[in-house]
A and B are shown apart, each in its own frame.
Chain A
Amino acid sequence: MKSLEELRAIREKMQGQVSMRAEDHTHTRVVVGMATCGIASGARPVLNTLSRLVQEKGLTDHVAVTQTGCIGLCQYEPIVEVMEPGKPKVTYIKMNPDKAAEIVERHLIGGHVVENYTLSSADIN
Chain B
Amino acid sequence: MYRSHVLVCGGTGCTSSGSQKILEALKEELAKNGLTDEVAVVQTGCHGLCALGPIMIVYPDASFYSMVKVEDIPEIVSEHLLKGRVVTRLLYKETVTPAGVKALIDTDFYKKQHRIALRNCGIINPENIEEYIGTGGYQALGKVLTEMTPDDVIQVLLDSGLRGRGGGGFPTGLKWKLAKQNDADQKYVCCNADEGDPGAFMDRSILEGDPHAVLEAMAIAGYAIGASQGYIYVRAEYPIAVERLKIAINQAREMELLGDDIFGTGFHFDIDLRLGAGAFVCGEETALMTSIEGNRGEPRPRPPFPAQKGLFGKPTILNNVETYANIPQIILNGPEWFASMGTEKSKGTKVFALGGKIHNTGLVEIPMGTTLREVIEEIGGGIPNGKKFKAAQTGGPSGGCIPAEHFDIPIDYDNLISIGSMMGSGGLIVMDETDCMVDIAKFFLEFTVEESCGKCTPCRVGTKRMLEILTKITKGQATMEDLDRLEELCYYIKENSACGLGQTAPNPVLSTLRYFRDEYEAHIKEKRCPAGVCKALLSYHIDPDKCKGCTLCARNCPNNAISGTVRNPHVIDQDKCIKCGACIEKCKFGAIYKQ
Contacts and interface: CB of A to CB of B under 8 A. Distances in A.
Contacts of B256: 1-2
B85 A69 contact: yes
B582 interface: no
B130 A14 contact: yes
A91 interface: no
B3 A65 contact: yes
B324 interface: no
Interface string A64-80: 11111100000000000
Interface in A52-91: 52, 55-56, 60, 64-69
A32 to B, nearest CB: 7
Nearest to A34: B84
Contact of B134 (A17, A50, A66): A17
A14 to B, nearest CB: 3
B82 interface: yes
Q: Give the one of A11, A47, A52 with max B CB within 10 A.
A: A11
A48 B59 contact: no
B136 A11 contact: yes
A23 interface: yes
A21 B133 contact: no
Interface stretch (B186-194, B257-265, B538-546): B257-265
Contacts of B293: none
Contacts of B38: 47-48, 51
B125 to A, nearest CB: 9
Contacts of B264: 2-3
A106 interface: no
Contacts of A66: 4, 60-61, 84
Contact of A56 (B1, B84, B124, B257): B1
Interface in A15-35: 15, 17-21, 23, 25, 27, 31-35
Contact of B60 (A20, A33, A36, A52): A20
Contacts of B137: 11
A7 interface: yes
B131 interface: yes
A20 B263 contact: no
A67 B138 contact: no
A4 B142 contact: yes
B569 to A, nearest CB: 61
A89 to B, nearest CB: 15
Nearest to A35: B83
Contacts of B245: none
Given A23-B105, A56-B1, A14 B133 contact: yes
Contacts of A19: 134
B135 to A, nearest CB: 5
Contacts of B261: 2
B139 A21 contact: no
A100 to B, nearest CB: 12
Nearest to B105: A23
Interface in B130-171: 130-131, 133-139, 142, 146
B255 interface: yes
Nearest to A10: B133
Q: Give the one of B7, B133, B136, B257 with max A CB within 10 A.
A: B133
A13 B142 CA distance: 18
A10 to B, nearest CB: 5
Interface in B248-271: 255-257, 261, 263-264
Given A1-B263, A51-B1, A39 B134 contact: no
B83 A21 contact: no
A10 B130 contact: yes
B84 A18 contact: no
Contacts of B3: 47-48, 50-52, 65
Contacts of A33: 84
B142 A23 contact: no
A15 B57 CA distance: 19
A52 B298 CA distance: 57
A120 B82 CA distance: 28
B1 A11 contact: no
B587 interface: no
A98 to B, nearest CB: 18
B84 A7 contact: no
B62 interface: yes
Contact of B130 (A13, A23, A25, A36): A13
B314 to A, nearest CB: 29
Interface string B379-420: 000000000000000000000000000000000000000000
A39 B146 contact: no
Contact of B84 (A25, A32, A48): A32
A34 B103 contact: no
Nearest to B123: A21
Q: Give the one of B103, B134, B255, B263 with max A CB within 10 A.
A: B134
B104 interface: yes
Interface in B230-284: 255-257, 261, 263-264
B5 interface: yes
Contacts of A18: 123-124, 131, 134-135
Contacts of A4: 142, 146, 263
B2 interface: yes
Contacts of A21: 5, 7, 57, 59-60, 62, 123-124
A31 B3 CA distance: 12
A10 B255 CA distance: 11
A2 B84 contact: no
- Cβ-closest 5 pairs across A and B: A67-B84, A14-B134, A51-B3, A64-B60, A18-B134
21 contacts: A1-B255, A2-B256, A2-B264, A7-B142, A11-B133, A11-B134, A14-B133, A17-B1, A17-B5, A18-B124, A18-B131, A19-B134, A20-B5, A21-B60, A23-B62, A23-B103, A34-B82, A50-B3, A67-B83, A68-B85, A69-B83
